[in-house]
């Protein structure tokens, strides 16, 4: 039995209850069976499990392994200093884990916000008396009492209602108040039936008695909350990249570690000395600071986006936005201002265009009717300041009626059929001085077919086929000017007649054309998106011609071009492959879409290999927002549901902000590559000493603790500074990066490992040899691990690496542009990073605790100067490489041509 269609008594019976409610015993039984009335957490994994996960990913496991060997080594041979090493490595793992935790907490908080929308205490009839129980104890079959201002605690069917009005905004996104009654409804789904109350929505006026038929995650709200929860699990392309990068690094580091352990053992080291050597190789090859730097770079990207009015709901979205190849946007309010001004009318009495100033309601009956529909068939409400609150189009209509001089006759609202995006019209039933009447307004093609007559100058006349053609032409003429058109109509009803459930036999009154100009900056944003190789798809509920005209105004559709528009009706008949073909058009336009059709478009775009950003505001948009790579909800006009399903929220609902966000997102990817190059460069310099040790049998030039001093000390802030670089000026002149483009590609590896890293390694090794040679050491002589000369030599190696990394920060700021052509003042963080780096290396070399902790010794000034030629060589060679790269790419187009 359908809970909406049946009469109240049958519904109560089918739910095993009555007007007197459930007994407490039965309620307890049902609670055990159905579970509490709360949004179920489908994430399943408790926080501690997630904590364990963040501490046990591949790189962390490798480091745990290294730390364990260090601790075991310390137990067996305490004088090798392996315990300090073990602690240092554990510290590294914990720091990385902490950042992962931080993200988890953010996700949890979002969920908690969502849960707050459900009420806590509910009045429920149990065993014939009314009790107040916590909302989460409600069960199906409970009879509850609701009054003005109450939140609806579960999905219910009304069994009694008195002037009850609700706002379903949290679930449907439609902010307009709607009437609800206890009468059986024709609609079979919960969103449309007039006797259903949805969990999470609110009662605006009146009161009622209702029976609960769905609780917790079985409610519409619960289903959406589940949808939103699954959203926090999204994996962005970047995260996938990082995961595969970690795998490559882990295998490499482990393999080398094992090989070096074997070589060391073979070369005559004790098993623990050889293990320390193996651990060193692993530590040198794992970029310890990488994961926290990525998280922080994303967080900084998210903050910069927020400044440009884009709020991301989970961090990886900041980068995903950068890889977008298609924006699928709605029109009203995103491309346009949603500031409606009535420009023209088409009146039934003259069958000709007119202006609002031509209306004479006091003298002409037809004008008065039109103004009455404009004034009363709406949902706007008086604001405190005397103005109106609500839908801008409706406010414009009410103001027009007021300006035309419509006397505020005693018109009383009896009932209404609310607007919905599928029907594209709304109707209200009124008690007027002339009797009962129904007023209707909506998209012309949904209203005119329901009209049988029109209000002519001398009373009602039949609406002939010829006249219908006239109306169609008038509508098209308005639409072609980019105006948004509504048709207004009415119907007299018998006294006491109820509001018909559908509108038929209407009398046509006129068309109203609204101007909703494009937002400022949208034309430039469209140009910028196009230049950046991003396709724009419009998916709107509005008329095709209006959409094309707006498309022209914002430069999306060229003047001479007549784009193919797919209407919702046609889309219905298109097969998936036909839809995919339609999407090949340069600017596909979908108009008069039904609420659920956006999802199909998004699916088709994704099937074509696009990375899609999709905007939406109502509950019906939630599935499309979920399906998209980046779902974008509206901050001002959007519903909570759409926001919950989205990956990001546009604070100002403005299309321009999406394009700004893409620019920032692209910068995030670029910046990750910048610091990846930076960090991997020093890895080479850290690894080569181990290689030299094995190949030439020299004392180890760089200790493990010194490696960590670079990876988690001196390198960290400059790497972060590279992560905070501003978008490159030509970042939106490039096409979107191909899906196949890897974060860590051969170009980056070759530059870091095969080029920059070699200079650093050479500098480190030469500085080391220089100090030893100066100290009188001869090749092959033994050197104690605590000998002052050895300490100084490793310190020189460390200093050389750090100094070259300072030069390297500048080199890594751009892969192709010369250091001298960059605006170095653009990013003050770089200088903060370098100051920190210098401060830290001075502390390591010249302070007592620094010496003790990192096994270093103070150096003479000559050792510092020694690095100069290497820094110069690195800089000059990199400039030469960039020059070659630039001239090669500038030759490419001409070669083609």
Per CB under 6 A, residues contacting ligand ATP are 330-333, 391, 393-394, 419, 421, 424-426, 441-443, 486, 540-542
257, 291, 586 from 82: Cα distances, Å? 16, 25, 64
Nearer to ligand ATP, 598 or 674 (CB): 598
Distance in Å, CB of 424 to ligand ATP, minimum: 4
Phi first, then psi, for residue 822 (nearest 5°) are -90, 150
Task: Name the pairing type of β-strands 352-354 and 341-347.
Answer: antiparallel
What distance in Å separates the CA atoms of residue 816 and residue 748, rounded to the nearest whole number? 12
- Label residue 308 exposed, middle or buried (CB < 10 Å: 0-12, 13-18, 19+): middle
Residue 206, both tokens? 């009146």
Look at residues 749, 743, 754 and name the one whose alpha carbon lies nearest to residue 672. Answer: 743
Nearest to 570 by CA among 586, 546, 548, 588: 588
Q: How far is the CB of 332 from ligand ATP (least distance, A)?
A: 4
Helix (H) or strand (E) holding 648: strand 648-650
Task: Provide, rounded to whole angstroms, the least separation between the CB of residue 289 and ligand ATP.
Answer: 45
If the CB atoms of residues 390 and 858 are measured against ligand ATP, the closer one turns out to be 390
Q: Which of 655, 693 has the CB closer to ligand ATP? A: 655
**In the complex with ligand ATP, which residue's Cβ is closer, 279 or 486?**
486
Structure tokens at 860: 């003479």
Would you say 419 or 768 has its CB closer to ligand ATP?
419
Q: Report the C-alpha gap between 351 and 180 in whole angstroms.
A: 38
Q: How far apart are the first and last CA of the chain?
A: 71
Cβ closest to ligand ATP, residue 442 vs residue 833: 442
Partners of 22 in beta bridges = 126
Shortest Cβ 518–ligand ATP spacing (Å): 12
Taking the least distance from each CB to ligand ATP, the nearer of 62 and 614 is 614
Rounded-to-integer distance, Cα 671 and Cα 861, Å: 35
Give the C-alpha separation, 53 to 63, whole Å. Answer: 14
The distance of Cα 161 from the centroid of its chain, to the nearest Å, equals 40
| Positive or negative: CA dihedral 132, 138, 139, 143 | positive
CB of 420 to ligand ATP, least distance (A): 9
For residue 577, CA distances in Å to 502, 581, 604, 607, 608 come to 36, 6, 8, 10, 10
The residue (of 336 and 677) whose beta carbon lies closer to ligand ATP is 336
Q: Which residue is nearest to ligand ATP (CB)?
A: 541
177 vs 442, beta carbon nearer ligand ATP = 442
As a whole number of angstroms, the distance between CA 786 and CA 773 comes to 17
Of 631, 885, 843, 891, which Cα lies nearest the Cα of 751?
Answer: 885
The secondary structure of the chain in percent helix, strand, coil, rounded to multiples of 5, reads 50, 15, 30
Q: Which is nearer to ligand ATP, 37 or 170 (CB)?
A: 170
Burial code (b: 16+ CB inside 10 Å, e: under 16) for 596-627 equals ebbbbbbbbbbeeebbbbbbbbbbbbbbbbbb
Q: Find the shortest distance in angstroms from Cβ 657 to ligand ATP.
A: 16
Q: Which residues contact 148 (CB under 8 A, 6 or more apart)?
A: 203, 204, 205, 206, 207
Verify whether residue 330 is a known catalytic residue: yes
150, 155, 179, 330: the active-site residue: 330
Question: Least distance (Å) from ligand ATP to the CB of residue 346?
Answer: 15
- Centre a 10 Å sphere on the Cβ of residue 415 and count the other Cβ atoms it contains: 14
Query: How many DSSP H helices and E strands does the chain contain?
Result: 32, 26
Q: Which residues lie below 8 Å from residue 670, measured CB to CB, with a gap of 6+?
A: 725, 727, 728, 731
Task: Give least dist CB 377 to ligand ATP, A.
Answer: 8
Smallest distance from ligand ATP to CB 663, Å: 24
Residue whose CB is less far from ligand ATP, 73 or 173: 173
3-state secondary structure of 676: helix
**Could you tell me the smallest distance in angstroms from the CB atom of residue 411 to ligand ATP?**
18
Least distance CB 443 / ligand ATP (angstroms)? 3
Q: 856 is written with which tokens? A: 């270093």
Lookup: tokens for 634 = 């509206």
Catalytic residues: 330
């Amino acid at each position: 039995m359908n809970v909406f269609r049946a009469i109240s008594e049958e519904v109560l019976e089918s739910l095993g209850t009555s007007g007197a409610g459930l007994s407490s015993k039965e309620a307890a039984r049902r609670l055990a069976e159905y579970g509490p009335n709360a949004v179920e957490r489908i994430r399943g994994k408790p926080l501690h499990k997630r904590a364990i996960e963040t501490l046990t990913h591949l790189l962390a496991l490798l480091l745990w392994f290294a730390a364990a060997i260090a601790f075991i080594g310390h137990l067996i041979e305490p004088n090798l200093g392996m315990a300090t090493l073990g602690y240092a490595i554990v510290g590294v793992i914990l720091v990385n884990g902490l950042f992962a935790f931080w993200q988890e907490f953010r996700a949890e908080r979002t969920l908690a916000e969502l849960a707050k929308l459900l009420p806590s205490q509910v009045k429920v009839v149990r065993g014939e008396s009314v009790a107040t129980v916590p909302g989460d104890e409600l069960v199906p079959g409970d009879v509850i009492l609701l009054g003005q201002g109450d939140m609806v605690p579960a999905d219910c069917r009304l069994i009694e209602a008195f002037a009850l009005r609700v706002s379903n905004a949290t679930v449907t996104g439609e902010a307009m108040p709607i009437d609800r009654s206890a009468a059986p409804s024709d609609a079979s789904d919960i969103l449309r039936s007039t006797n259903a109350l949805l969990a999470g929505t609110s009662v605006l006026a009146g009161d009622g008695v209702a029976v609960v038929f769905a609780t917790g995650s079985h409610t519409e709200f619960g289903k959406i909350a589940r949808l939103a929860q699954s959203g926090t699990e999204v994996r962005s392309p970047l995260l996938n990249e990082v995961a595969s990068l970690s795998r490559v690094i882990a295998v490499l580091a482990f393999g080398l570690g094992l090989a070096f352990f074997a070589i060391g053992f073979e070369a005559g080291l004790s098993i623990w000395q050889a293990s320390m050597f193996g651990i060193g190789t692993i530590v040198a090859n794992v970029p310890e600071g990488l994961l926290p730097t990525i998280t922080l770079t994303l967080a900084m990207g998210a903050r910069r986006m927020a400044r440009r009015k884009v709020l991301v709901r989970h961090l990886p979205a900041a980068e995903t936005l950068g890889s977008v190849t298609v924006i699928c946007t709605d029109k009203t309010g995103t491309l346009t201002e949603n500031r409606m001004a009535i420009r023209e009318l088409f009146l039934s009495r003259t069958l000709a265009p007119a202006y609002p100033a031509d209306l004479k309601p006091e003298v002409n009956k037809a004008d008065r009717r039109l103004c009455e529909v404009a004034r009363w068939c709406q949902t706007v409400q008086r604001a405190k300041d005397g103005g109106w609150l609500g839908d801008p189009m409706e406010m414009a209509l009410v103001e027009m009626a007021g300006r035309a001089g419509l006397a505020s006759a005693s018109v009383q609202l009896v009932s209404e059929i609310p607007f919905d995006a599928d029907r594209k019209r709304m109707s209200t039933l009124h008690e007027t001085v002339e009797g009962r009447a129904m007023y209707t307004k909506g998209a012309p093609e949904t209203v005119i077919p329901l009209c049988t007559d029109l209000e002519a100058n001398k009373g009602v006349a039949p609406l002939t086929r010829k006249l219908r053609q006239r109306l169609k032409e008038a509508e098209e003429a308005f639409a072609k000017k980019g105006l948004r058109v509504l048709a207004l109509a009415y119907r007299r009803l018998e006294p006491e007649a109820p509001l018909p459930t559908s509108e038929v036999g209407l009398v046509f009154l006129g068309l109203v054309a609204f101007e909703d100009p494009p937002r400022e900056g949208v034309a430039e944003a469209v140009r910028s998106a196009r230049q950046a190789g991003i396709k724009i798809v419009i998916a709107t509920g509005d008329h095709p011609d209006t959409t094309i005209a707006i498309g022209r105004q914002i430069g999306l559709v060229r003047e001479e071009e007549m784009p193919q528009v797919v209407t919702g009706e046609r889309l219905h008949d298109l097969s998936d492959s036909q839809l995919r073909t339609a999407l090949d058009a340069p600017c596909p336009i979908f108009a008069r879409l039904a609420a659920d059709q956006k999802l199909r478009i998004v699916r088709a775009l994704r099937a074509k290999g696009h990375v899609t950003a999709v905007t939406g505001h109502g509950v019906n948009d939630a599935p499309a927002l979920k399906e998209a790579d980046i779902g974008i909800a509206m901050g001002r006009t959007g519903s909570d549901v759409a926001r919950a399903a989205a990956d990001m929220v546009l604070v100002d609902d403005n299309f321009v902000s999406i394009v700004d966000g893409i620019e920032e997102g692209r910068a995030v990817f670029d910046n990750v590559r910048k610091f990846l190059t930076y960090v991997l460069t020093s890895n080479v310099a850290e690894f080569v000493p181990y290689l030299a040790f094995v190949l030439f049998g020299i004392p180890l030039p760089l200790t493990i603790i010194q490696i960590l001093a670079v990876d988690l000390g001196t390198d960290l802030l400059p790497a972060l500074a590279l992560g905070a670089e501003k978008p490159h000026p030509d970042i939106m002149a490039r096409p979107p990066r191909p899906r196949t483009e890897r974060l860590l590609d051969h170009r980056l590896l070759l530059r870091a490992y095969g080029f920059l890293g070699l200079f650093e390694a050479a500098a480190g090794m030469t500085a080391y040899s220089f100090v030893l040679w100066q100290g009188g050491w001869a090749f092959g002589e033994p050197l104690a691990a605590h000998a002052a000369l050895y300490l100084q030599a490793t310190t020189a190696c460390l200093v050389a690496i750090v100094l070259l990394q300072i030069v390297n920060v500048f080199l890594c700021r751009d892969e192709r542009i010369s250091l001298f052509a960059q605006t170095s003042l653009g990013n003050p963080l770089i200088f903060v990073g370098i100051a920190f780096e210098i401060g830290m290396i001075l502390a390591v070399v010249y302070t007592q605790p620094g010496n003790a902790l990192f096994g270093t010794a103070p150096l003479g000034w000559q050792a510092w100067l020694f690095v100069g030629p290497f820094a110069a060589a690195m800089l000059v060679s990199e400039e030469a490489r960039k020059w070659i790269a630039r001239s090669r790419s500038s030759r490419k187009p001409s070669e083609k041509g």
